Amino acid sequence: MGLTFVLDGEGRPVYSVSYAGRPVVLPSRLGFVLSADSSFFTGFVLRGQERRVVDTVWRPVWGEVAAIRDHYEELTVHLERMGRWLDIVFRVFADGVGFRYVFPKQAGLRYFVVGDELTEFRMAGDHKTFWIPGDYDTNEYPYTTSSLSSVDNAALVAASTAIAVRVAPDRYAVQTPLMMKSADGLYLNIHEAALVGYPAMQLHVDHASLTLRASLVPDCVGNKAYLHAPFATPWRTIIVSDKAADILASKMILNLNEPSKLASTDWIHPMKFCGVWWEMQTGKGTWSYSDYPDSVDARGQLIPSGRHSANTANVKRYIDFAAANHLGGVLVEGWNVGWEDWFGNWKENVFDFVTPYPDFDVREVTAYAASKGVAMIMHNETSGSATNYERQMDTAFRFMKGWGYGAVKTGYVGRIIPRGEHHDGQWMAEHYVRVASIAAAYHIMLDAHEPVRPTGLQRTYPNWLACEAARGNEYNAFSDGNAPEHETILPFTRLMGGPMDYTPGIFRLRGYSTVAGRQVHTTLAKQLALYVTLYSPLQMAADLPENYAAHMDAFQFIRDVPVDWDDTKILEAEPGDYVTIARKEKGAANWFLGAITDENARTVDVPLAFLEPGRKYKATIYKDGVGADWKTNPEAYAIETMTVDSKGRLRVQLAPGGGAAVSIRPL
């Protein structure tokens, strides 16, 4: 990696990035518009600079690998403009460059407002780009692949009726992580690391100059951030390689985050789980107990609709299933009162997070789960009312601990309260970190749905296991679905920031919905492969027990696949086309391999050189059956076993929209 930094003739900070002599970021501007100084991007004088080299290794609490090398050269430049100071810190890694702004403690800049951040990334060509619209409130869009100069989100935003809330005022803006590929085969990924106390960065695409310009999510009065020096912004990250696999293997974003702030982490346990959820997504059951909030009897009690999924008996069925199948936890959504009119009213006080519906017996469920050795996972849907959640958060967490819940799934469906704030603005960015931090104080693990997309903060708060913040498998249930290429793009985009609770493992791929024509856009074998290709320490077995019962031979892979790893090998990958990954189970000699393709059939043919030399393994291959096809024959699969070693190769055929999952255990 090459980095240059200069002040131009007018004292404007300018940087550029190259990779093996090839331009990656052409000279691009840096700086701000501040409340205290509207020209905090020009007229700077270089007052000093420092360089250092760091090369250390750290061990994540959980992750894709057991140890991570953090190796970079750092350049800090001290700039002054009319008595006000700005530092810019660059870190150059083998796989990319990160930089952040630091406002040092200074008399002339204490409290100030960021009107705009002017960071630019001027591209060297009209790259092929994998993008979703820049939206202040959601990342739940399908990906578009186009040239940079063709980015225009207007039609996509207008068509995305399945999203609860969307605010995309700039038709030429895109979200990060943004994945690009140059005509000459360079892979580029732009994102940010350590989003703390600052709004999310989206990117405005200037078609003419092929320049990406930082676009911070504003608050309700149009300000971007309220800062108090000393303050360091999140890192702006540029990961580059001529091999797509290197992008997925990069640990740069994690390395740019702070080490764990938690006093202890022995209570953090990655796990698989099942739960009362797909029933509601597919229309079999409901979150709510009654059909309408005014369905009340003479005593004012809600009249049950009879379709409420989170009832004690049904939940015990899931507990039984989890206990029988090596799933650590059970998630129950819709257990607490308020779901009859929880959504879409910009209503501040929806849930109290501690009052169950009459048919959900917390005591009985807790006791039953404990007797079966299954952990219960709490569900706290906020309906976007962060103020209400913050008021009651201590009460909610005390309730969880009182009943032995060690994990919570939060949700932020709908418009944010404080009204006028956005999911991705500074206030909410602070909120998510606050929730993670308070949850940690209670020894509770966190899985946040509908938050800002992650930026590697799982290093700092390792109890923050996963986020949603993208189109998950659920879109196959309640919309026209995710395109077959969707899961080949996610690792290069959304997952660059952190694990996603994608909820894979749907076995009944058609006929599950009350809406005609709906189907999951993968084969069954691809659903298995996702447990490996979409990394998360929290993986749901999302389908219904009865649907798994029909294919327990295939379910064996879900039983076996771990969620924490000692090593990971990105064997081959191309965004939008295919991903093949092998991972070694944490503390064991077993390997698991996942391979997926887009809408095109594909032959995987990869060496098994990652296996321990001289050792024999039994490989169990869960693959697409003959004639399998995501659209016409998704549930056809085949299971075969063979003996393999490090000198061999794995060759397996993937159907259109298909995949393969392989467990490889020492003989």
Q: Report the interface residues with a copy of itself, using CB under 8 A.
A: 105, 110-111, 113, 219-221, 223, 226, 228, 294, 341, 345-348, 387, 390-391, 393-394, 418-421, 427, 430
Q: In what order do the strands lie in the sheet with 2-7?
A: 2-7, 13-19, 22-29, 120-123, 211-216, 201-206, 173-174
Burial 52-87 (b: 16+ CB within 10 A, else e): eeeeeeeebbbbbbbebebbbbebebbbbbeebbbb
Shortest distance in whole angstroms from residue 418 CB to a copy of itself: 3
Shortest distance in whole angstroms from residue 428 CB to a copy of itself: 11
Q: Could you give the CA distance from residue 118 to residue 6 in angstroms, rounded to a whole number?
A: 16
Q: Tokens in use for 103?
A: 């406002």
Give the N- to C-terminal CA distance of the chain in Å, as an integer: 43
Q: Tokens in use for 189?
A: 């990924």
Which phi and psi angles does 155 have, rounded to 5°? -65, -40
Q: Return the SS3 of 410.
A: strand
Shortest distance in whole angstroms from residue 173 CB to a copy of itself: 21
Reported residue count of the chain is: 667
Q: Return the SS3 of 155.
A: helix
The candidate with the shortest Cα–Cα distance to 102, out of 177, 162, 50, 154, is 50
Shortest distance in whole angstroms from residue 219 CB to a copy of itself: 6
Q: Is the peptide bond before 537 cis (omega within 30 degrees of 0)?
A: no
Shortest distance in whole angstroms from residue 169 CB to a copy of itself: 14
Q: Tokens in use for 321?
A: 């299933």
Of 47 and 228, CB closest to a copy of itself: 228
Identify whether the C-beta of residue 264 lies closer than 8 Å to the C-beta of residue 317. Answer: no
Residue 2 is which amino acid? G
Which phi and psi angles does 201 have, rounded to 5°? -95, 120
The DSSP string of 544-587 is -HHHHHTTHHHHHHHHH--S-EEEEEEEEEETTTEEEEEEEETT
Residues contacting 171, CB < 8 A, separation 6+: 152, 153, 154, 157
Q: Which residues are catalytic?
A: 474
Identify whether the C-beta of residue 372 lies closer than 8 Å to the C-beta of residue 319. Answer: yes
Q: Return the SS3 of 32.
A: strand
Identify whether the C-beta of residue 290 lies closer than 8 Å to the C-beta of residue 275. Answer: no
